[in-house]
Every structure is written in C-alpha cells, then in structure tokens.
Chain A
Amino acid sequence: MTIAQEAIREATSHPLDDLLRTERIPHIWCPGCGIGTAFSSCLIAMKESGIDLEKTVMVSGIGCSGRGAGYVKLDSYHTTHGRAIPFATGMKLANTDLNVVVFSGDGDLFAIGGNHFIHAARRNVDITVVCVNNFNYGMTGGQAAATTPHLAKTTTTPLGNPESPFNLPLLAYAAGASYVARWTTLHARDLTTAIQEALANPGFSFVEVLAPCPINYGRRNKEKPLDTLRLFQDKSIIKNNAHPTELDVDWEKGVVLGTFVNNPRPCSTDMYDKTCRLEEKPEKKTAA
C-alpha cells in the first residue's frame, strides 16, 4: 500500500473552517448550487489577499446568496432586501478603515437594489461587490428576474422569457465602477484572482459570478447542474478588456468572461475630504 492510500481518511475539518460558522454548516444551498463555490472563492480570496480580516465586513441582502453573511465568521451584516449597498456605504463612511465586501445575488443587487448599485458606482465608494447571478429569483420559487436570459423558462414565464436581460458589467461600467470582472463558478481560480484584485482596488469594484441554480432555473430549462457547468465550459469566451457592450448573456453566441475594467479613480471619501474638509488639513492647503 502506498503512502497516499494509507493516508486517505475521513477528515473532520476544512482549511476554510476558521472563516466559517461551522455550527451552521451544511448550509441551506441546494446540491449543485453555485453560490457555495462563489462563497468559497470569496473566502479564499479574502484569506490570500492578506487584508486584515479583523477589519473586514461582509454585507448581504436577501435571497439565497444573502445567507452568505450568516455563514462567515467575520463581522457581517444581513440587511433588508436590496439594501446591502446602502448599509455597506454607510459602514465605509463611518469607518474608512474597514474593508467592506458585499456578497449578494442578482435579484437583490440589480432588481430591487438597482438604484443603490448605480449610485454607489457613480460615487466610487470603496467597496467590493460580488454578485452571484443565477438568472432567476431562486429562493422564492424561480420567478423571472432582471437577469433571466431571453426565452429562458421560469415559473412566471412558462413560454420563455420575452424580455432581454441586464448586461451587468455594462451597467457597472456605465455607472462608473473602477473594476469590473465576470467569471463563472467553473472558473473558480480566475474568480478568486478577480476577487483578490477587486479587494485591492481602491474604489467601487464589481465581480459578477455566473452560477448554476439547478433546482429552480436548471430544472425548468432541462439543465442538470453538470450540464450548466458544461455550458459554462463550452460556451464561454475568455477575453480580458473586452468592450462592455459585447457582454450580454446569450448562450447561443457565447458569453464573454474576463476582467473588463481596471481603471482606478479617486474614491468617494478622498473626493469628499478634498472638497469639504480643507480646514482640517492645513499642511496640504499650503503645499498646494
């Protein structure tokens, strides 16, 4: 028997257990749900980026991915529906030392919370937004959302979705986000790197994660969880710095993944200090 064969044994703890509230694991996410992968990539990125985890906060809204804040063993905030970004902005303004990570879903961030998203991106608030896009409202029973692809079947669109979905990276880019990336849960390693870059970026960073929702979205579109991941493998085109208008989610022609915007600009607190807190920094005034 080789060393490896001898050493296979049942393990009891995971390397990420120090960042997890293990008493709540296993989590509520369905078998094959992509949120778990996105969440673990986010935790690995937070761990590897070397940021002070004592000063890191995770904020979630409502929905399946909103449970993320409840599973992380850091300071975390499970907020009202759609309002994860306003809470995160407030926290960042009150204590600029904090690293604020918003981990939430597409329905929360872009349907009910869409307005908050564009204004946080416009102000360039120094937060990192990880949006798990599973193409529907998973927790409430699979209704059509703002991100459901055209002709996809959901409980509220049994004949296929007649509408076009949001192109989230284009929205983030147009609103002024300084870092925009999109990956799928299959590209977990690139996703981890992107979240690390987003954490390091001063300013509003947005990472979209395409994730399978096997029970509510996949089942109605005849996709097993592994089929969804194979679709991610076969139909994705990796193209960094692609123009955001090319990024619509249309699996027929392929979905573009990569880092699209990495263009740091002064963030909201710096601009506020420069404009409204001149008298508190006389040495800077004389230098100028």
Chain B
Amino acid sequence: MALWRVPLDAEQIDVTLGIVHIIKERCKGCGYCIEFCPKEVLEFSKEFNQKGYHPPRVKKPDDCVNCHYCEIICPEFAIYSIEAEQEQANP
C-alpha cells in the first residue's frame, strides 16, 4: 500500500522486521494473504502442496513489518509472522 505522504518522523521510527512462517500443507490457495498484504511481501509459489494448491511464498522477506494481517485473515491457520529478534532469542 503506497503512503500518501511520508510521515515527518518516519526516519525516527524503528520499523520491526517480521519473519513469515507458512504451514504449506494447511494452505488451500485462496490468495487472501497475498492480495491483502500491505507490503506485498508474498506471492504464489510454483510448487504444489499435497492437496494440489499453490501455497504462498515470501518474495520480499526484508519488507515484512510483522503486522500479523496475513495471520489474522488466513482462514486456514496456515501462516503467521514472528518478530525477528524474538525469533533469534528462542529459535
């Protein structure tokens, strides 16, 4: 989603980095996470899962800001994100 203007304090804001986790076998390929990711981080992968759907793939891993929207809109409990520092603390 493009911003209308850059906020004045944009440089002082610490943007968190999120790491997207995908449970491929649960995905039914509805594409909601791909379509509605505000940073357009995801895309359909070429591979199939066991059920024959194309699960999403992270195309821009450094852009994820850990907003959890994919996690909340996914009807299949198949995707979530974790903040990068937390991930390193307890892998």
What is the bound-complex CA distance between A26 and B74, given in angstroms? 12
What is the bound-complex CA distance between A187 and B61, given in angstroms? 25
What are the interface flags for B61-83 relative to A under an 8 Å C-beta threshold, 1 for contact and 0 otherwise?
11010000101111111101000
Tell me how many residue pairs across A and B have CB atoms closer than 8 Å: 101
Tell me whether A32 and B77 are in contact (CB under 8 A): no
Is the C-beta of A10 less than 8 angstroms from some C-beta in chain B? yes
Tell me whether A32 and B30 are in contact (CB under 8 A): yes
Tell me whether B62 and A4 are in contact (CB under 8 A): yes
What is the bound-complex CA distance between A11 and B23, given in angstroms? 5
Complex contacts, B84 vs chain A, CB 8 Å = 3-4, 7
Complex contacts, B64 vs chain A, CB 8 Å = 4
Complex contacts, B73 vs chain A, CB 8 Å = 37, 185-186, 188
Tell me whether A33 and B75 are in contact (CB under 8 A): yes
What is the bound-complex CA distance between A15 and B24, given in angstroms? 15
CB distance from B31 to the nearest CB of A (A): 6
Tell me whether B21 and A20 are in contact (CB under 8 A): no
Is the C-beta of A286 less than 8 angstroms from some C-beta in chain B? no
What is the bound-complex CA distance between A198 and B34, given in angstroms? 30
Is the C-beta of B44 less than 8 angstroms from some C-beta in chain A? no
Tell me whether A8 and B61 are in contact (CB under 8 A): yes
CB proximity to B under 8 Å, residues A194-243: 225-226, 229
- On whether A25 and B77 interact (CB within 8 A), knowing A7-B84, A8-B20, A8-B61, the answer reads yes
Select A20's contact among B22, B74, B77, beta carbons within 8 Å. Answer: B77
What are the interface flags for A70-94 relative to B under an 8 Å C-beta threshold, 1 for contact and 0 otherwise?
0000000000000000000000000
Is the C-beta of A50 less than 8 angstroms from some C-beta in chain B? no
What is the bound-complex CA distance between A29 and B28, given in angstroms? 10
- On whether A8 and B23 interact (CB within 8 A), knowing A34-B75, A40-B74, A40-B75, the answer reads no
Is the C-beta of A189 less than 8 angstroms from some C-beta in chain B? yes
Is the C-beta of B37 less than 8 angstroms from some C-beta in chain A? no
What is the bound-complex CA distance between A39 and B80, given in angstroms? 16
Tell me whether A36 and B76 are in contact (CB under 8 A): yes
CB distance from B29 to the nearest CB of A (A): 6
Tell me whether A31 and B29 are in contact (CB under 8 A): yes
Is the C-beta of A12 less than 8 angstroms from some C-beta in chain B? yes
Select B87's contact among A7, A37, A188, beta carbons within 8 Å. Answer: A7
- On whether A8 and B58 interact (CB within 8 A), knowing A26-B76, A33-B75, A34-B75, the answer reads yes
Tell me whether B23 and A41 are in contact (CB under 8 A): no
Complex contacts, B21 vs chain A, CB 8 Å = 8-11
Tell me whether A15 and B80 are in contact (CB under 8 A): yes
Tell me whether B19 and A26 are in contact (CB under 8 A): no
Tell me whether A31 and B62 are in contact (CB under 8 A): no
Is the C-beta of A44 less than 8 angstroms from some C-beta in chain B? yes
B residues within 8 Å of A by Cβ? Answer: 17, 19-26, 28-32, 35-36, 51, 53, 58, 61-62, 64, 69, 71-78, 80, 84, 87-88
> Which 9 A-B pairs rank lowest in CB-CB distance, beginning with the nearest?
A36-B75, A11-B21, A31-B28, A4-B61, A32-B30, A188-B72, A7-B19, A14-B77, A37-B75
* Interface contacts beyond A9-B21, A16-B77, A29-B75: sample of 7 additional A-B pairs, CB < 8 Å, sorted by A: A4-B62, A8-B58, A8-B61, A10-B24, A17-B77, A32-B28, A188-B72
